[in-house]
Amino acid sequence: MSWVKLIIQINAAHAEPLSDALMEQGALSVDIHDAAANTQDEQMLFDEPGEPSGEIWHNAEVSALFNRGVNIDEIICNAATRAQLDHPPGYRLEHVEEQDWVRLTQSQFDPIQISSRLWIVPTWHQLPDPAAINLILDPGLAFGTGSHPTTQLCLDWLDRNLRPGVRLIDYGCGSGILAIAALKLGASHVTGIDIDPQAIRASKENAMRNQCDASAYCFSAVENTTGSNIQIQKQADIVVANILANPLIMLAPLLARTALNGGQIVLSGILVEQADEVKQAYNQWLDMNSANHQEGWVLLTGTKR
């Protein structure tokens, strides 16, 4: 079986109306992405909670998948009318053959080496170094496969700084990768917290897959990320939060009081240009530093006074 992919370059104002119109014309799926992706003109977008959403790329590309044999010219004309375009847009076509999508997806995720002793390995791969600390983790619905710079920055910091026996809280635990890494590196207990129940399920499953001691971890969901209605009963030697800058700023009082005096806070998900604002939010409780950076993202750390 095969399909035909219709690809249209369009400005941002018309991208979403055209996408909706193509779905009405029988598209099996529609995708909007940056027409300049993987070039020097690629436009990076970062939406955060508390900020207006809906921004898309200035020069967008709409891709729609159809069954073979459809009348593309008729679809284009009808969709253009429905989207209130002045005239039918130009387009190009690609043919999509049936593939083993599971194997194709798996081929995009190779083992990731964080350090000489720490690896992230999908379940379908052999261990590159059986003697290393191997985090067995598959891509899933929760954030945290180890491929993103923000996660790698946190893992690298934990690998270099975590002392055996410490207690750690991972706020916004996602897949549980940081909490599980902490256990593997010698933490005595970890607590993972997330707004998404799916993330909590994923964290528990990943902890079991990595044969973590069930008495050494606890994962639980909270109702919101603002910190206004959240009470964390425990304190920890290390509090790590890999979220985004705006939630980290809002959570500053909560995360600060969750760290023990003399304890450390590790913050990620912060663009380099956002670092000073995040530091300022925590300075009244902690001595803050920029610990490392990677691909435009920065890792901040602080020691509780």
**Domain residue ranges in the chain:** 2-98, 106-304
Q: What is the pLDDT of residue 140?
A: 75
Read off the tokens for 56. 């898309």
Closest-CA residue to 169 (of 226, 114, 118, 218): 218
Selected residue with higher pLDDT from 80 and 230: 80
pLDDT (average), residues 235-248: 96
Is the overall model pTM greater than 0.85, yes or no? no
What is the CA 180 to chain-centroid distance, rounded? 17
Place of tokens 């300022």: 280
pLDDT at 108 over 90: no
Kindly report the length of the chain. 305
- Taking CA atoms, 35 is separated from 39, 143, 198, 210, in Å, by 9, 25, 32, 40
Selected residue with higher pLDDT from 194 and 1: 194
Q: Are 225 and 247 spatial neighbours (Cβ–Cβ below 8 Å)? A: yes
pLDDT at 48 over 70: no
Selected residue with higher pLDDT from 178 and 145: 178
pLDDT at 152 over 90: yes
What is the CA 209 to chain-centroid distance, rounded? 21
User: What is the number of other CB atoms lying within 10 angstroms of the CB of residue 58?
Assistant: 13
Q: Which has the minimum average pLDDT: 152-161, 223-232, 242-251, 285-294?
A: 223-232
Pick the CATH number of 2-98 from 3.30.470.20, 3.30.70.120, 3.40.50.300, 2.40.30.10: 3.30.70.120
E strand map for the chain: 2-11, 29-34, 59-67, 92-97, 112-113, 118-121, 133-136, 167-171, 189-194, 217-221, 236-242, 259-271, 286-294, 297-304
pLDDT at 208 over 50: yes
pLDDT at 230 over 60: no
pLDDT (average), residues 239-243: 97
Pairing relationship of beta strands 112-113 and 29-34 according to DSSP bridges: unpaired
Q: Does domain 106-304 match CATH 3.40.50.150?
A: yes
304 DSSP β-pair partners: 286
- Taking CA atoms, 29 is separated from 95, 121, 244, in Å, by 14, 31, 30
Q: What is the pLDDT of residue 53?
A: 46
Q: Which tens digits make up the pLDDT trace of 7-40?
A: 999 988 899 999 999 999 999 999 998 887 767 6
